[in-house]
Structure 1
Amino acid sequence: MRIVDWSDGADGGPAVVLLDQRALPHRTEYLQLTTVDAVVDAIRSLAVRGAPSLGVAGAFGVALAAHRHADDPARVRAEAERIARARPTAVPLALGAHRALARLDDGAPAVLADARAVAADAARVNAAATSRAADLLEAGCPGRPVRLLTLCNTGDLACGEGGSALGAALRLHERGALAEVLACETRPLLQGARLTVWELARAGAPHRLCVDSAGPAALATGLVDAVVVGADRIAANGDVANKIGTYMLACAAARSGVPFLVVAPEETVDPHTPAGAGIVVEERAADEVTGFGGVSTTLPGTPVFNPAFDVTPAELVSAIVTEHRVWSPADVAAARPPASRVG
């Protein structure tokens, strides 16, 4: 399944190819993006989403700029910055764009080669992180299959081949060690209902769908062994920015004594952001909340608060699992003197 790819384009010239995630689960449609404007629009409109997939899209977008404007390196650099800023919260988008841009002096083919390397590296990273996370989850439930709760979408669609948090669940399924994934629908754009359920169904993995606010109830009534989520940015202290609703689940998991795991690439950890207060949280358009499917669900002109992400404090995170390590920021946070935790 191609999520983000490249086409040399016999007729229309080079293009970035995207599986349009806005059309799922009912239609499988691909976009052929032949301009940087189209790439930026696809990123902002969530035709491609998920931090690692955004990194791949960003790299291929810069490759497109390098091919389209081979005689104007200043314009390529400007286009790369525009791509990198298209969504501010996710770390991999800017990293992917800047990594590809670093090869600009070597020519457009070199930029494209590095974009392809970003995609290949994502698959290797995902394989290592999901295997480590599956081992950890399986060890926590010896002798029986694991029951998981997740939010948003963290499979191949969001992360490239192998996924992250959902990828860990699917590794358990491959081992015969998954009892069920309880997938939150993920308002307002239903990435859980549309995308996570689609990926679970394709894999034949046992699952149920629930409204976001049912997640804490599932935790409180003992239906869940662990919460697994991804991350768009992780501060140096272990505070985690992820899809809105994550903080709610982390609070409920802590109250119920259920482990809360974050599965994400090491590159998502931002050493330049000391704590979650420094993470820029994208706020999206009001119409994502005021209606659905072209039907208004509230009064016209209703003011809206629509953050795409929230920040979960490190002390609520049982473990962050990357391709390199298992990190327990809750332990680090608990060891700090109280004064150091203010703010």
Structure 2
Amino acid sequence: MAELLFIPRSVEWNETSITILNQQKLPFQTEYLELKELEDVWDAIATLKVRGAPAIGMTAAYGLALAAQQYNGSIAEFQKQLQKARTYLASARPTAVNLVWALDRLVKSVAKATSVNEAKTTLIHEAIRIQVEDEDTCRAIGEYALSLFQEGDRVLTICNAGSIATARYGTALAPFYLAKEKGVHLHVYASETRPVLQGARLTTWELMQAGIDVTLITDNMAAQTMKTKHINAVIVGADRIAANGDTANKIGTFGLALLARSFGIPFYVAAPLSTIDLSTKTGDDIPIEERNPEEVTHLAGTRIAPEGVNVYNPAFDVTPNELITAIITEKGIIRGNYKTALPALFKEEESIETT
């Protein structure tokens, strides 16, 4: 019998506002915020109150739809205001491609609107559709990913690619939820993910809520853990996948891929098609966000480094495609020549849309 799990949600639409789970307060406080203005949405994305590429995209889509409800005048003026809001929201986080993907999808949905009221209604419906589709997508990713694991496997992950980073289930964490539902035991090892500690604060919290077996390690324990705990696989999410399969994900992912190659452990990337950016040819073309130095020099508000020390704080790194065993999408498991396989996924999508 399938087990009913508590799976927290990160984003909800309320007609006149957006409710988000404030991920900055986890795991000590479960706080929900009401976003009512465009600036509130931008701030929530930029300050990591909402995070995870799919969740960022959903929040931005709802934010654009929410802001558009205040726009009036001619349809031409409406489109200008919409583009301005789209550009503003897109500036909140530069690396996660889902942000721009969702915003552009909404703008495209009203390109042929003949009235402002029609456009406003369409934007809301399209944003809701993105969230519904993402839940189905995550479930499909989870089913494909679970097929790669066996009873008792020990799997390492980094950052948080779970239910609170998506509509439901997550991407890299989806197989663990589905395994729990089906009575398959998997043991998850979660890297803490310095400097913002998404693994320690978020991944462990949400997996424990669902009763999933999880062990926390610090980032510099990864090699020792792979060796002594007999890790069977590494699975991570993605913020952007280039056309050749190079993948940007949370800082520390590249290091795990190198370790996995050294130990002969498969390294999997789990991500929806919306994270694949065919316009970005290689990982060298992916913009890497650098964040506030205080994320490194301070811990829980307390300074842990000398005043005036130089800080390098990239939020992401890029894992080269040759280190990736497979990319798991809602359309299946991709291996081998990513330059050929990834574009083929979109040709299939185009074929479905035209039939």
TM-score, length-normalised on structure 1? 0.91
Cα distance in 2 for residues equivalent to 1:2 and 1:177: 23
**SS of the residue 1:252 aligns to:** helix
Alignment partner, residue 293 of structure 1: 300
Cα distance in 2 for residues equivalent to 1:310 and 1:44: 18
**SS of the residue 1:302 aligns to:** coil
**Cα distance, 1:34 vs. partner?**
1.2
Alignment of 1:2-81 (within 5 A): 2-8=9-15, 14-71=16-73, 72-73=77-78, 74-81=80-87
Distance 1:5 1:206, change over 3 A: same
Partners of 1:70 and 1:107 within 8 A in 2: no
Alignment of 1:107-186 (within 5 A): 107-138=119-150, 144-186=151-193
Range 124-133 or range 97-106, more displaced: 97-106
Specify which of 90, 93, 106 is matched with residue 100 of structure 1. 106
> Which residue identity is paired with 2:143?
S
**SS of the residue 2:186 aligns to:** strand
Cα distance in 2 for residues equivalent to 1:273 and 1:102: 20
Would you say how many aligned residue pairs link Structure 1 and Structure 2? 322
**SS of the residue 1:107 aligns to:** helix
Cα distance in 2 for residues equivalent to 1:52 and 1:263: 12
1:291-334 superposed Cα distances (whole Å, 9 cap, x missing partner)? 011110011121110000000010100000000021124x669x
Cα distance in 2 for residues equivalent to 1:161 and 1:41: 23
**SS of the residue 1:209 aligns to:** strand
1:135-182 superposed Cα distances (whole Å, 9 cap, x missing partner)? 1223xxxxx421110000011101221211011122223233333101
Alignment partner, residue 207 of structure 2: 200
Partners of 1:148 and 1:169 within 8 A in 2: no
Specify which of 239, 246, 262 is matched with residue 246 of structure 2. 239
Cα distance in 2 for residues equivalent to 1:70 and 1:319: 48
Range 148-157 or range 25-34, more displaced: 25-34
1:256 aligned to 2:258?
no
**Cα distance, 1:84 vs. partner?**
1.9
> Which residue identity is paired with 2:286?
I
TM-score, length-normalised on structure 2? 0.88
1:175-204 superposed Cα distances (whole Å, 9 cap, x missing partner)? 333331010011011111111001110110
**SS of the residue 1:193 aligns to:** helix
**Cα distance, 1:45 vs. partner?**
0.2
Give the gaps of 5 or more residues in structure 1.
9-13, 139-143, 334-343
4+ residue runs over 6 A deviation: none
Alignment partner, residue 88 of structure 1: 94
Partners of 1:49 and 1:158 within 8 A in 2: yes
**Cα distance, 1:36 vs. partner?**
0.7
Cα distance in 1 for residues equivalent to 2:256 and 2:134: 27
Partners of 1:238 and 1:275 within 8 A in 2: yes
**SS of the residue 2:147 aligns to:** helix
Give the gaps of 5 or more residues in structure 2.
1-7, 340-355
Partners of 1:19 and 1:31 within 8 A in 2: yes
Partners of 1:289 and 1:304 within 8 A in 2: yes
Partners of 2:10 and 2:166 within 8 A in 1: no
Alignment partner, residue 305 of structure 1: 312
1:249-273 superposed Cα distances (whole Å, 9 cap, x missing partner)? 0000000000001110012111111
> Which residue identity is paired with 2:23?
Q
Distance 1:179 1:325, change over 3 A: closer
Cα distance in 2 for residues equivalent to 1:24 and 1:80: 29
Distance 1:127 1:332, change over 3 A: closer
Name the Cα RMSD after superposition.
Answer: 1.4
Distance 1:301 1:102, change over 3 A: same
**Cα distance, 1:94 vs. partner?**
0.7
**SS of the residue 1:241 aligns to:** strand
1:12-56 superposed Cα distances (whole Å, 9 cap, x missing partner)? xx2121111111111111111111111101000000000011110
Range 303-312 or range 212-221, more displaced: 212-221
Answer 1 or 2: higher relative contact order, Cα 8 Å, separation at least 6: 2
**Cα distance, 1:222 vs. partner?**
4.8
Cα distance in 1 for residues equivalent to 2:101 and 2:338: 27
